[in-house]
C-alpha cells in the first residue's frame, strides 16, 4: 500500500507557482538592498554605478502594458549581485511601465523549480516576467545564455575557483547588457 501511494505521489503534477501571490509578498529592491548582508558593498556599488542603455529604456517604455518582475534572489548569490542591480536601474528608468519585487529562494523555490537552468537546476536569480494581472509571460534563469552555456561546459574542466573568476570577469566586461537584453526581449512578448 505504501509503495502504491508513493508511486501515485510521484505521478502527481507539480503545482504551478501562484506568481501574483508571490509577487504580493515580495519586497521592493530598495528594501532588499537595505537588508543585504552578504556582498553588501558589491550590491551597493553595482547599483550605484549601473548604467542602462537609452535604447533598452526606450524599448521598455514602449511596451503596450505594464509589466511586473518577480525576482527570486539571495544577497549571497554572485549571479544575483551581477544582474539584479542593473535590472533595478532599468525599473527605476521606467516607473510607469515596470515594477519589481524580490523574494528569497525559500519562498521562491517553486518558481526556481518551474524555470530551471539548461542543466536542470533551480537557481538564483530567477526572474518571472508577469502581465499586469500577475500571469506569467515567461522567465529567465541565473545567467545570460552565452555565459550559461559556456559555464556549463567549463564546469567539466575548470576548478570551481577558476570558473568563478572567469564568470566574474565576463560579468564585469558585460556590465549587465546581455542579461538586460534577454529580459527585455521577454518583457516585449
Q: How far apart are CA 88 and CA 99, in angstroms?
A: 9
Mean pLDDT over each residue of the chain, to the nearest integer: 94
* Average pLDDT over every residue of 95-119: 97
The verdict on residue 121 lying in a domain is: yes
Q: Where are the beta strands (DSSP E) in 91-151?
A: 98-103, 126-130, 136-141
Which grid coordinates belong to 169? 570577469
Cβ neighbors of 185 (< 8 A, separation 6 or more) are none
* Average pLDDT over every residue of 139-153: 96
Residue 11 has pLDDT above 70, yes or no: no
CB atoms within 10 A of CB 25: 12
Domain residues for the domain of 133 are 14-142+176-187
Q: Which of 131, 128, 99, 100 is nearest to 113 (CA)?
A: 128
pLDDT in tens, 173-183: 999 999 999 99
The verdict on residue 147 lying in a domain is: no
pLDDT in tens, 13-41: 668 999 999 999 999 999 999 999 999 99
pTM: 0.91
Per the listing, cell 509578498 goes with 25
Which grid coordinates belong to 81? 549581485
* Average pLDDT over every residue of 5-20: 68
Residue 1 has pLDDT above 60, yes or no: no
The verdict on residue 162 lying in a domain is: no
Domain of 22, CATH number, reads 3.40.30.10
Q: How far is CA 182 from the centre of its chain?
A: 11
The verdict on residue 5 lying in a domain is: no
Which grid coordinates belong to 146? 552565452
| DSSP conformation class of 133 | T
* Average pLDDT over every residue of 70-78: 98
Residue 42 has pLDDT above 70, yes or no: yes
Amino acid at each position: 500500500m505504501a509503495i502504491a501511494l508513493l508511486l501515485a505521489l510521484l505521478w502527481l503534477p507539480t503545482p504551478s507557482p501562484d506568481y501574483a501571490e508571490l509577487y504580493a509578498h515580495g519586497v521592493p529592491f530598495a528594501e532588499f538592498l537595505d537588508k543585504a548582508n552578504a556582498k553588501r558593498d558589491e550590491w551597493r556599488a553595482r547599483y550605484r554605478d549601473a548604467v542602462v542603455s537609452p535604447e533598452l529604456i526606450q524599448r521598455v517604455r514602449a511596451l503596450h502594458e505594464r509589466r511586473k518582475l518577480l525576482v527570486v534572489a539571495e544577497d549571497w548569490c554572485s549571479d544575483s549581485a551581477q544582474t539584479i542591480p542593473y535590472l533595478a536601474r532599468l525599473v527605476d528608468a521606467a516607473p510607469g511601465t515596470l515594477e519589481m519585487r524580490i523574494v528569497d529562494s525559500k519562498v521562491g523555490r517553486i518558481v526556481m523549480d518551474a524555470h530551471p537552468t539548461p542543466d536542470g537546476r533551480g537557481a538564483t536569480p530567477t526572474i518571472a516576467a508577469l502581465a499586469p494581472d500577475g500571469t506569467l509571460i515567461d522567465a529567465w534563469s541565473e545567467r545570460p545564455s552565452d555565459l550559461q552555456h559556456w559555464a556549463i561546459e567549463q564546469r567539466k574542466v575548470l576548478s570551481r575557483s577558476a570558473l568563478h573568476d572567469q564568470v566574474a570577469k565576463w560579468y564585469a566586461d558585460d556590465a549587465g547588457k546581455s542579461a538586460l537584453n534577454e529580459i527585455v526581449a521577454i518583457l516585449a512578448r
